[in-house]
């Protein structure tokens, strides 16, 4: 093990978070090499700076004019230069401010400064590198984003254990979650995604409290728990009963044995899917400033060893957009549009004829809703819709059909769902 990794580990070896680290997580460190030496040079090299591998001219990054002219409003350095490994400090700061604004219970709670990743998926991959090893248990509801399998099971050889997302009354099944945790060993990784992909469900305030209480009980029993909060669709809440704060805000100081990680992104929140800019934020009752610094350095080591740094131009565009005086107003308008589509979907589902072999799972947020497909098979229905009506949907196994209403104009929602009902009825004859 490298000396720098050992030094980082020594800071946290008496804390629960150290027991949660994977073998790779314990070996990971951020080197004191080119990056740190270049940072020193930027500060003190008053004559020449011959450290970083960029082409410079007259103190500015060089560029190809045909590329430079495509973007207005950014300097050449804001477009072409490397960003710091942890991301632009100004963007990290403004994202933190927005996170606290949207999660006011975070005020005065100790969490790390958000670390910028190359998209939310990259954030999940980093956390799995640092905390998930072969044969570790990763618990998540049975309705989950399929990429979790690639990240946790295929890449890291962890065991993905699921519990029923809903109980018999179609509420979040906190009891099933807790029973699943009880069956695991001392180390447990729990992955929660709200609004949920694929169902479009977010828990109520009461349900979120039940989740937190169940996790605290298991922490009290001696479990070391990493709770990963996948907040991909955060903020797209369409009903008042939904808890509008991330569960991360409640978990980041809930118990010494709980380490919480909030993974979110500009992807959906800022409508910049192709920019590939995400954020990792750590919190935990037992994490002091020194421990948070260790996690930041290990995260930076993972970034450095995979993508080196994240997109500079993406970060600067997001930063300047979020600084705009019209930013919040414009964002609210977008959320209102998606809510309008949600309301039309809700009306269509409520009016679904009784003879249609579909059951809508609870949905109240996000981009999606999902049907339970009875008898006719979800894959059969997906192909039938595509081949006979030119409509694309996603089948999950042979039981579930996901519909992304976010990608359909509001004026077409009624026709979309009417056609889905018609196709399901035709297949069921």
Q: Give a yes or no: residue 310 inside a domain.
A: yes
The answer to whether residues 149 and 169 touch, using CB atoms and an 8 Å cutoff, is no
| SS3 label, residue 429 | coil
Q: What letter does residue 237 receive in the DSSP assignment?
A: B
Q: Treating both helix axes as pointing N-terminal to C-terminal, what angle do 327-350 and 312-323 enclose, rounded to 10 degrees? A: 90
SS3 label, residue 137: strand
Neighbours of 346 (CB within 10 A): 18
> What is the per-residue pLDDT for 390?
97
For residue 48, pLDDT over 90 is answered with: no
Q: Give the burial string for 4-14 (b: 16+ CB within 10 Å, else e).
A: ebeebbeebee
Whether residue 309 lies inside any domain: the answer is: yes
Say if residue 281 is in the same domain as residue 181.
yes
Long-range (24+ apart) CB contacts under 8 A made by 2-7 are 2/27, 2/29, 4/29, 4/30, 4/31, 4/32, 5/29
Which of 271, 292, 323 marks a domain boundary?
323
Residues 313 and 334 in one domain: no
Same domain, 305 and 399: no
Domain boundary among 323, 356, 388: 323
Q: Are residues 380 and 296 in the same domain?
A: no
Judge whether 12 and 5 are in contact, CB under 8 Å: no
- Residues 275-330: pLDDT tens digits? 999 999 999 999 999 999 999 999 999 999 999 999 999 999 999 999 999 999 99
* 298 in the same domain as 423: no
Does a structural domain hold residue 248?
yes
Q: What is the CA radius of gyration of the chain?
A: 23
Distance CA 209, CA 217 (A): 12
Whether residue 12 lies inside any domain: the answer is yes
Assigned domain for 334 exists: yes
* 351 and 273 fall within a common domain: no
- Determine the structural domain holding residue 385 and report its residue range: 328-427
In a domain, 408, yes or no: yes
d(CA 304, CA 164): 38
Classify 404 as helix, strand or coil.
Answer: strand
pLDDT band at 26 (very low <50, low <70, confident <90, very high): very high
Average pLDDT over residues 134-151: 95
190 in Cβ contact with 225 (< 8 Å) = yes
Domain C-terminal end among 301, 323, 345: 323
State the CATH number of the domain containing residue 347.
3.90.1150.10
For residue 208, pLDDT over 70 is answered with yes
Query: Which among 191, 181, 201 has a CA at the least distance from the CA of 141?
Result: 191
pLDDT of residue 16: 96
| One domain, residues 238 and 164 | yes
- In the structure, what pLDDT confidence band is assigned to residue 36 with cuts at 50, 70 and 90? low
Check whether residue 364 and residue 416 sit in a common domain: yes
- Phi then psi for 5, rounded to 5 degrees? -65, -40
Contact 384, 358 (CB under 8 A): no
Residue 42 main-chain phi, psi, to 5 deg: -60, -30
Question: Residue 327 phi/psi, 5° resolution?
Answer: -55, -55
**231 within some domain:** yes
Residues 304 and 372 in one domain: no
pLDDT over 80 at 47, yes or no:
no
Check whether 45 has a pLDDT greater than 80. no
Tell me the DSSP string of 251-306: HTTS-TTEEEEEEEEHHHHTT-GGG--EEEEEEETT--HHHHHHHHHHHHHHHHHH
Mean pLDDT calculated for residue range 181-199: 97
Strand partners, 370: 402
380-427 pLDDT tens trace: 999 999 999 999 999 999 999 999 999 999 999 999 999 999 999 999
Residues with Cβ within 8 Å of residue 32, at least 6 apart in sequence = 4
65-100, pLDDT tens digit by residue?
999 999 999 999 999 999 999 999 999 999 999 999
Distance between CA atoms of residues 310 and 126, nearest Å: 13
Q: 3-class secondary structure for 332-353?
A: HHHHHHHHHHHHHHHHHHHCCC
Confidence bin at 44 (pLDDT 50/70/90):
confident
* The pLDDT of residue 34 is above 70: no
Is 307 in the same domain as 404? Answer: no
Residue 393 in any domain: the answer is yes
Output the domain CATH number for residue 111.
Answer: 3.40.640.10
Same domain assignment for residues 280 and 348? no
The string of pLDDT tens digits covering residues 209-265 is: 999 999 999 999 999 999 999 999 999 999 999 999 999 999 999 999 999 999 999
Residues 292 and 377 in one domain: no
Residue by residue, DSSP assigns 309-333 as S--HHHHHHHHHHHHSTTHHHHHHH
pLDDT of 297: 97
- Phi, psi dihedrals of residue 56, rounded to the nearest 5°: -125, 155
* Secondary structure (DSSP) of 67-100: HHTT--SS-HHHHHSPPPTT--HHHHHHHHHHHH
Structural domain count, the chain: 2
């Amino acid at each position: 093990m490298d000396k720098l990794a050992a030094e980082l580990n020594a800071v946290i070896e008496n804390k629960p978070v150290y027991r949660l680290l994977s073998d790779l997580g314990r070996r990971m460190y951020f080197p004191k090499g080119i990056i740190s030496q270049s940072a020193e040079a930027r500060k003190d090299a008053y004559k020449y700076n011959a450290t970083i591998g960029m082409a410079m001219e007259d103190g500015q990054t060089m560029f190809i004019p045909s590329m430079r002219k495509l973007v207005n409003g950014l300097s050449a350095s804001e477009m072409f230069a490397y960003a710091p490994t942890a991301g632009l400090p100004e963007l990290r700061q403004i994202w933190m401010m927005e996170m606290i604004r949207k999660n006011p219970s975070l005020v005065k709670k100790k969490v790390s400064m958000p670390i910028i990743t190359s998209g939310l998926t990259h954030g999940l991959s980093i956390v799995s590198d640092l905390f998930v090893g072969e044969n570790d248990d990763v618990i998540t509801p049975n309705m989950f984003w399929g990429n979790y399998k690639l990240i946790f099971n295929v890449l890291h050889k962890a065991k993905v254990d699921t519990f029923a997302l809903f109980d018999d009354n179609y509420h979040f099944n906190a009891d099933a979650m807790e029973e699943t945790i009880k069956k695991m060993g001392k180390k447990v990784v729990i992955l929660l995604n709200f609004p949920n992909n694929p169902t479009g469900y977010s828990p109520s305030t009461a349900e979120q409290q039940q989740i937190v209480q169940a996790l605290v009980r298991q922490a009290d029993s001696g479990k070391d728990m990493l709770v990963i909060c996948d907040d991909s669709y955060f903020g797209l809440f369409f009903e008042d009963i939904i808890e509008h704060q991330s569960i991360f805000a409640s978990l980041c100081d809930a118990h010494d044995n709980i380490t919480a990680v909030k993974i979110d992104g500009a992807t959906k929140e800022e409508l910049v899917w192709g920019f590939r800019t995400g954020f990792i934020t750590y919190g935990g009752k037992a994490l002091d400033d020194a421990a948070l610094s260790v996690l930041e350095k290990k995260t930076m080591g993972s970034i450095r060893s995979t993508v080196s740094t994240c997109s500079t131009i993406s970060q600067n565009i997001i930063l300047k957009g979020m600084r705009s005086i019209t930013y919040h107003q414009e964002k609210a308008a977008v959320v209102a549009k998606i809510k309008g589509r949600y309301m039309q979907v809700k009306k269509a589902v409520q009016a679904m004829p009784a003879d249609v072999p579909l059951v809508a799972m609870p949905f109240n947020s996000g981009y999606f809703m999902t049907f339970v497909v009875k008898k006719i098979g979800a894959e059969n229905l997906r192909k039938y819709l595509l081949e006979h009506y030119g409509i694309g949907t996603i089948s999950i196994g042979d039981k579930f059909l996901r519909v992304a209403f976010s990608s359909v104009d509001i004026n077409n929602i009624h026709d979309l769902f009417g056609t889905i009902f018609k196709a399901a009825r035709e297949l069921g004859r």
